[in-house]
Structure 1
Amino acid sequence: MKLKQVSPDLLSLSPELSRSGSAKAFEERLRSSIDEIGLAEPIKVASMPSGGYLVIDGTLRLRAIRAIRKKSPERFPTVPAYVVDYDRRYEIRFQSDIYQDLLPSQLAALVEHLHVTESVMKSDIARYIGVSPATLRNYTGLWRLLQRGGLFASIVTLMDVDVIPASNPYAWLRLTPAGVEKVLRESFAEGEGADAWVRDAIASARQGNSIRFPIKYVEAMTDGLPPEYYRVGQEVRAVKRDLGLRRGSKKIERSSSTTPQRTLDNLNSVRNLSTSVVLRSAAGSLQEYLQ
C-alpha cells in the first residue's frame, strides 16, 4: 500500500464496501475529533479504472470530512490515504474488518507475536493493518500493560469492554502500581476498592450497562499526581516526549532567536524536497510551531 494525499472530491463510496451503520453519537464524536485534531488514521482507497478512488475503509471519516468542508470549504483540501489495487478491494476490506473486530488485547498480542516471533518490522505491520505508526505504538503499550499484570492488566480488560479508551495506554504505563490503584480508587471508583470496582465495571459492561470514560478524563486523572506515583528514569521522559502529555499546558511563547536558523532551514528543505508526504507534513508543522 502506498500512502498519498488525495482530494476528497476524487473519493467515491460504495454500499458494498461500507459498514452497515453506526450510532449517531459516535459519528458526532468522530466529526468533532477530526475537526479539532485532524485525520489521525489514513483511509484506505482503491484506484478505479475510470479514475478517482473508491473508499475501502474510512466511510465515516470521509463523511465527517465532507460535513466539515460543507461549512468550511478551505478545510481538508487533501486527506492521507493508503492506495491499493482495485482488484484487491474486497480482500483489503475483509482484512480491515478482521482487525477492526479484534479486541485491543487481541491486537496487542497479535502485533507482539508478528514482531517478536515472526520478526516482522512494526512499520510493516502498521502498513499491513492500515494504521499510523502512533496507533501501532499504542498496541505495544497495551502489551506492556498486560505483561505488568495486576491492575495494569485489568486496565486492558476495561479497554476490551470499552469502559476506558485504548487510545493512550501510556497514560497508565507511566504510573507505579500504587499510582494506578490511587487513580482507580479516587477518580473512578469514588472511594470503593480498586479491585472491587474493576470487577463490577467489567461485569456491568458485559451486561450492556457500562459507562464510558473519555480519554481526556483518563489523561487528566493520571496527570498531576505526586512524584512517588510515577515511574522514574528515561522511560518516563520518553513517554512524555513521544505522547505529548503536556498537551493541555500553556504553550510557551518562543522568539525567533530561541530556534537556530539552521534548524528552520533544514526543516524548510525537508518540507519542499522530501518525497515523503508524511515527512513534508511533519516538517511543515514543526517549522510553523518553531517560528
Structure 2
Amino acid sequence: MTTPRPIVRPSRALACALAAGTLLATAACSDGETGAPSGSRTASTVAERGVAAQTASPTSTSTGPELTERGARQALITSEDLEDNWTQVDNPREWRDSLLVGDVDVAAFLNGKSDASECQRLVDALYDETLLGTPSGASALNGFQDGESRLLYQVAAYDKADLDDSMQWLKSLPDTCDQFTLTGGDSGDRTVQVIGLKLPDTGDARQGLTVTVKGNSNGEPATLTLDVAAVRLGTDAITVTNGGLDGASHDSTSAAVGNGTERLKEVRAGRTPQPTPSGVS
C-alpha cells in the first residue's frame, strides 16, 4: 500500500514515490451518462472500449429542496451498501497515489495542448478527488477499504451550469484521452488508458469510466486500476472512485452508485434514508 501523503498537493513534475507497492495512499478521492451495484475485489480486466455513455433516466429527479450538510451526510452510503468485506475508514481525505502525479506528454496528441489539457485535468482530478469540480453547497464524503482496494464516495451540491459542464467533460474522455503518457514524478513514464464503464440506469444523468495507469512503483511494475462514476440528480451529484493495484471491482462500483442514488433521492424527497439490510445491495 502506498505511504500516506500529505494533503498539500505536490508539483506535477515531482512527488513522493509510493511506499510499499500498493495503491492509493491513505485518503482522497460528470452532464454525462452511465452508473452500477456489486462486490469483490478481484483484479478486473479493462472492459471493452465503446461503453461511454447512456441515456438519462426517463423519470427526472431534478426538483428538490436545497441539499443541507445534514442531508448530504444522510445520503452517504455505508459498508452495508457494498458487497464483500468493505470496512469504513476514518481518514479518506488523506488518500493519495503518486502514480497519478505527473505531466501529460503533449507531443503524443494530434490536437496538441487542447486534448492534453483535458487529460491533465483528469489526472489532477483523480489525485485531488475533484472530478466534478468544487461543490457550491453542502458536501460530505466517506471512504471504505477492502484489502488494498479503496472506495471513496462523495455527495455534494453544485452550480447547475458547472455540473453540466463537468458531466459533459467526463463523457468526452474515452475519446479525447483514450490513451496517453504521463511523465515526471518519481514513477517515471506511465501509460494511461481511459474507457467507458456501464453504470446502473439511475439519476438524471450518469457517466462511468475505468482508468488504468501502468508504470512502476518502488522499481517494480505496477498497474493502478480505478473505476470512476458520477450520477447527477438535479443540481446534486454523487461521485465514486474505486480501485487499487489489485484491480477495480465493477460490482462494488455499481452497488455504490445504485444504492447511493436511492439514498440521495430519499433525502431530496425530504425523507430519511433507511439503513440497507445486511447482505442486501
Structure with greater proportional strand content:
2
Bigger proportion of residues as helix: 1
Does TM-score exceed 0.5, indicating one fold? no
Tell me which structure has the larger Cα radius of gyration: 1
TM-score (norm 2): 0.22
